[in-house]
Copies of this chain bind each other. A is one copy, B any other.
Amino acid sequence: MKKKKITLGEIARLAGVGKATASRVFTEGASVAPATRERVLTVARDLGYQPSQLAKSLSTGRTHYVGVIFAYMDNPFYAASLEVLTYTLQDAGYQVLLLMAWNDTPEEEKIIQKLLDYRVEGIIAGSASISNAIAQRCADLGIPVVMYNRDQLRLNLPAVVSANYQGAHAATRLLIRTGHTRIAHIAGWQQATTGIERAKGFSDAMAEAGLEPVAITDARFLRHLAVEETHRLMRDGPRPDAILVGNDNMAMAVMDVLAGAYGLDIPGDVSVIGYDDAACAQLGRYDLTTVRQPVGQMAREAVGLIESLILDPAQPARKVVAPATLVVGSTVRGMDLTTTASIEALSRELGIDVEVRTPLAPGLSA
């Protein structure tokens, strides 16, 4: 009583038609007589026929797979990004092959190798740094790669990022404009373009105002390093009256250290600005002033980009820069944004969208 596998051929046989005809029944826009179609569909339904994507992909040469390489899921920005990427891709008819890989992993090469074996039609890389060799290989195979939230400076790859430079620049100018003079920057990883661009935005804004940064240190987006750096900042040299931090996760840790270990008031004694507008940072007890990266928009752009590259791999590498928004919480002193007019004025002055956070926003990202 062994169960026979239900294949197209089996269906065809039982419906008394050729394999080719049966195939046409499941192909959009192929010409089949209505009566035949009905007969085949009935048999298929009765037997619970499941067409094999594997066989289909093999013969058509299209897999509809997109490889997504991610990491850092403890950062809400990446978690939200992955969610939007995934359902956007699946709505567009693609399947997500998910891989986790950190930047420094030696397995990186192997990981991508695997993706190629599975014949993905495109790759969205949100964490891995694509080495020259791998990028070349993908190019040879005609497989487009889109960098997400990072840019490969040496290689000319398509990428989706947000306006990191402008965001950090505007945030810094906000601090300067509100009267802070001893400003420090606890930066994100200086090997990633996000960290680099934000640090540059900070430095430039300081220089333009004729101010010398109290310090610029690399905390590599790691909370415990941010904690260390904060202690160092408070111990050595002149204490800052404001700190721009590389992302929200670190910024909240910084706030905890300032208040907990040094009894400082925020923003009374020190102002703090973060980056990302992570869900936690929106909570009442932090209400962090920060720069928002438009997660949803970025993810959708990335999908659009990879889609268009899959359809036409020859097109030149395009970079998409999504606009950032300055989100005003209550961690910067000297702010007065009670009227719509003053908000608009600030926005014009800083050259960036400004939004005042309404406390206890529902705040579910999408």
Interface residues of A, Cβ cutoff 8 Å to B: 48, 50-55, 57-58, 63, 68, 71, 73-74, 76, 79-80, 82-83, 86-87, 90, 95-100, 111, 114, 116-119, 137, 140-141, 223-224, 227, 252-253, 255-257, 259-260, 279-280, 283-286, 359-360, 362-365
- Distance in Å from the Cβ of A221 to the closest Cβ of chain B? 11
Whether B95 and A118, one on each chain, are in contact in the complex, defined by CB atoms closer than 8 angstroms, is yes
Say whether A54 contacts B58, CB under 8 Å. Answer: yes
Nearest-neighbour CB distance to chain B for A65, whole angstroms, equals: 9
The residue from B74, B80, B280 contacting A283, defined by CB atoms under 8 A apart: B280
> In whole Å, how far is A8's beta carbon from the nearest beta carbon of chain B?
13
* Secondary structure dominating the interface of A: helix
Chain B residue numbers with a CB within 8 Å of A260 are: 284, 359-360
Contacts of A252 in B (CB 8 A): 283, 285
**Could you list 4 further interchain pairs (A-B, Cβ under 8 angstroms) beyond the known A256-B360, A280-B283?**
A53-B117, A54-B57, A82-B82, A98-B98
The residues of B that contact A55 with a CB separation of less than 8 Å are 58
- Identical chains bound together, number: 2
CA distance A143 to B50 in the complex (A): 13
Given A54-B54, A63-B54, A223-B364, also A90-B86 (CB < 8 A): no
B76 touches A74 (CB 8 A): yes
| Cross-interface CB contact of A137 among B48, B86, B119, B359, cutoff 8 Å | B48
Closest beta carbon of chain B to A62's beta carbon, Å: 11
Flag if A114 contacts B95 (CB, 8 Å).
yes
Neighbouring B residues of A90 by C-beta, 8 Å: 99-100, 111
Nearest CB in chain B: distance from A259 CB, A: 7
Q: Contact: B227 with A360, CB < 8 Å?
A: yes
Selected from B83, B117, B286, the residue in CB contact (under 8 A) with A51 is B117
